[in-house]
Amino acid sequence: MALQMKKLSEAANLRVFTDAGDFFGEIEEALLSKNKIESWKVRATRESFLSKALAGAKGVIVPHLHVKAIGDIMIVSRNAAPSYSEEEGK
């Protein structure tokens, strides 16, 4: 299996999901350090896990080490998400 390369510009607006299957948000931008991706700015969108967990927040910064896969979507570790329960959201 060959490693597939993507252009960084292709990641803009990519939908992000947790490894538990929750819709997390959308990629706003990548934050670089010394020509390497350090972290990702994820925008909280309507009906996303972030908009429920962080009422009023615009998004979060996810360290790249929490990214599990990037393809048609991005999958991040559930540990990257702020703690939230359905009880808190009501």
Q: Which two tokens stand for residue 67?
A: 């990214």
Q: Which two tokens stand for residue 57?
A: 């927040």
Residue 21 included in any domain: yes
CATH number at residue 31: 2.30.30.240
Residue 6 included in any domain: no
pLDDT digits (tens, 9 = 90+) for 50-88: 777 777 778 889 999 999 999 899 999 988 766 554 444
User: What total of structural domains would you count in the chain?
Assistant: 1
pTM for the model stands at: 0.79
Domain that holds residue 46: 11-80
pLDDT digits (tens, 9 = 90+) for 2-26: 666 677 788 888 999 999 998 989 9
Residue 72 included in any domain: yes
Residue 85 included in any domain: no
User: What is the layout of strands, in order, in the sheet containing 36-43?
Assistant: 59-63, 36-43, 23-33, 15-18, 74-76, 67-70
